[in-house]
Chains A and B, each alone.
Chain A
Amino acid sequence: MNVHLKPAQEIRMTRPDDGIKKGDPLLIVDNITLRFGGVKAISNISFDVRKGEIRAIIGPNGAGKTSMLNVINGFYHPQEGTITFRGEKRNKMRPHVAANQGIARTFQNIALFKGMSVLDNIMTGRITLQKRNMLWQALWRGPAENEELEHRRSVEHIIDFLEIEAIRKTPVGRLPYGLQKRVELGRALAAEPALLLLDEPMAGMNLEEKEDMSRFILDVNQQFGTTIALIEHDMGVVMDLSDRVVVLDYGRKIGDGTPDEVRNNQDVIDAYLGISHDE
């Protein structure tokens, strides 16, 4: 636990500016190779995510998309290659450190804290911003209380933004799937991330829910200027939302560019149609 005893008004509520201008690379993935035993999940993949953009990672099942996200947020440690985030180069990092640097994410199969309320779930998203030490919290007076209330206020903004006011006290496990996805997005947003990773944000949703989610993603990107990297299978959504797309297949990169460029890339078309390549 950190021992910062600054007065309440000095608490850092947004991440310090990293000096990276909009459009410059925020995240650079350089020559990443990830192996599980003898199996290569990712081989020599390089791409970047520019500040302020929505970057999609697409590819058929088993292409290594989720593995790529897991590398970026520190769940997996690649055997080769480096990741540069906000100008800091690293090749091995623990997930909580990545979170502290401003990488937030959602999961393909929703990883919420099922027993906790919507409000508590989203509050956990602010843990990296809450710096009072445990003893202050245990006393629950003065600085820790002020801090808690301040964070609570910004969480309420997120709840308003995602239009989930009515369910804020409900245990997450009882909510329908689409709403759970939305809460998970809220938890990631609460961290005020510099980079937001979304793993199939629309998987398993009906059309209406997909439209809602697309709107939220666009709003997050435009209103808060948050950089987003997302994995998605719905091609219509991907082409509409994203500024640039990177295409993976069997752990290799086979395409990279604007939605139009990718759409007309022969390798990408072949991969999706299942046409085999000569190695």
Chain B
Amino acid sequence: MSPAFLNFIEIFLNGLMAGVMYSLVALGFVLIFKASGIFNFAQGVMALFAALTLVGLQTGQVPFSHLINAIFGTEIHHWGGGMNSFLAILLTMVIMIVMAFLIEKLVLKHLVNQEPIILFMATIGLAYFLEGLGDLMWGSDVKTLDVGIPAGGSFWWEDITREWAASGSEYYGMYIDTLDVTATIVAIILVVALSLFSQYTATGRALRAVADDHQAAMSVGISLRTIWVIVWSIAGFVALVAGIMWGSKSGVQFSLSLIALKALPVLILGGFTSIPGAIVGGLIIGVAEKLAEAYIGVPYLGGAVENWFAYVLALAFLLFRPQGLFGDKIIERI
């Protein structure tokens, strides 16, 4: 194989793996949107908050330490030893579930039957609140997150692919980050587990029922509010997974909440109501971005195409297929 073709494969693979990360965030959006018709702007911040909490617990940070120090003139930072990664992840999950309860109790409950735009605005408020809370609790410095996921280039893959190049050509093998590979595997497990759960359990059926028809769901005895708590908890769990992956890759920092914006083109591509859509949409955006950067950006436009290409792609989709690849066709009765 020629090095040019191998390069293409490398870019393609890396695109796929970047796409998995987008898919993880988009998945949380779709879950909430299907069950409640709410576009949850706070999904990205939830991922950030989960990652912050995880690092905080793991390293044994004292929550609100800056606030406490400012008020009482103390000098506390950490409460001694940290926490086992596994325990910290479990505890973070518990916190995300408590958060789902609170969101239902304090926000959603009071906005039942309101216009979607009002619920959307509420989630924007929620996003800023969570960002502020995360800052206040754990501080705004960039933190490294290490839960023991292998990272760095895979030499094994580099060696194998070096062999593929035609002999005599100067090709040094493909670069693939093992962290990306892990993220991909985790995402696959997550999606399979979620679909098994929704397909074969009573709660899963209830979730699908609510997504399909609110009134009918209530008539068979499903409590919408219970379902919302469950859905937000699951979205919190997905946010935690996304937070761990993104945090391990690029450090836990507040720009993490901006990945929520990248999920938007993913959703426009995949459709707001489709879980496979979120996955495929994420992969397409990831690949398209990387290919555009390598074959349009670098040679012709001086780079940085990666930052805006997803949105252009989404715009094209809005023009020609507004319901996305997998979304339900929107039929409005007039």
Measured between alpha carbons, how far is A137 from B197 in the docked complex, in Å? Answer: 8
Residues of A within 8 A of B216 (CB): 107, 111-113
Measured between alpha carbons, how far is A100 from B223 in the docked complex, in Å? Answer: 10
Report if A134-B208 is in contact (Cβ < 8 Å); known contacts: A96-B222, A99-B220: no
Measured between alpha carbons, how far is A125 from B216 in the docked complex, in Å? Answer: 10
Measured between alpha carbons, how far is A23 from B243 in the docked complex, in Å? Answer: 61
Nearest to A172 among chain B residues (CB) is B212
Residues of A within 8 A of B204 (CB): 137
A29 within 8 A of B: no
A115 within 8 A of B: yes
Q: In the assembled complex, how far is the CB of residue B308 from the closest CB belonging to chain A, in whole angstroms? A: 35
Q: Which of A112-168 contact B (CB under 8 A)?
A: 112-116, 120, 123-128, 130, 132, 134, 137-138, 140, 144, 148, 151
Measured between alpha carbons, how far is A124 from B210 in the docked complex, in Å? Answer: 10
A75 within 8 A of B: yes
B205 within 8 A of A: yes
| Interchain CB contact under 8 A, A96 and B218 | yes
Measured between alpha carbons, how far is A127 from B205 in the docked complex, in Å? Answer: 9
Measured between alpha carbons, how far is A86 from B205 in the docked complex, in Å? Answer: 29
Q: In the assembled complex, how far is the CB of residue A202 from the closest CB belonging to chain B, in whole angstroms? A: 19
Report if A130-B202 is in contact (Cβ < 8 Å); known contacts: A111-B213, A113-B213, A116-B212: yes
| Interchain CB contact under 8 A, B201 and A100 | no
A181 within 8 A of B: no
Measured between alpha carbons, how far is A151 from B212 in the docked complex, in Å? Answer: 22
Measured between alpha carbons, how far is A116 from B208 in the docked complex, in Å? Answer: 8
B230 within 8 A of A: yes
B200 within 8 A of A: yes
Q: A99-B220, A114-B212 are in contact. List 20 more A-B contacts (CB 8 A).
A: A1-B203, A95-B218, A95-B219, A104-B219, A107-B215, A113-B208, A113-B209, A113-B216, A115-B212, A116-B208, A116-B212, A124-B205, A124-B209, A127-B205, A127-B206, A127-B221, A132-B202, A137-B203, A140-B200, A148-B202
17 contacting pairs across A/B (C-beta < 8 A): A94-B223, A96-B218, A96-B221, A99-B219, A99-B221, A107-B216, A107-B219, A111-B213, A111-B215, A114-B212, A124-B205, A124-B222, A127-B205, A127-B206, A128-B221, A140-B201, A144-B201
User: Which residues of A are in contact with B by a Cβ distance under 8 Å?
Assistant: 1, 73-75, 94-96, 99-100, 104-105, 107, 111-116, 120, 123-128, 130, 132, 134, 137-138, 140, 144, 148, 151, 187, 191
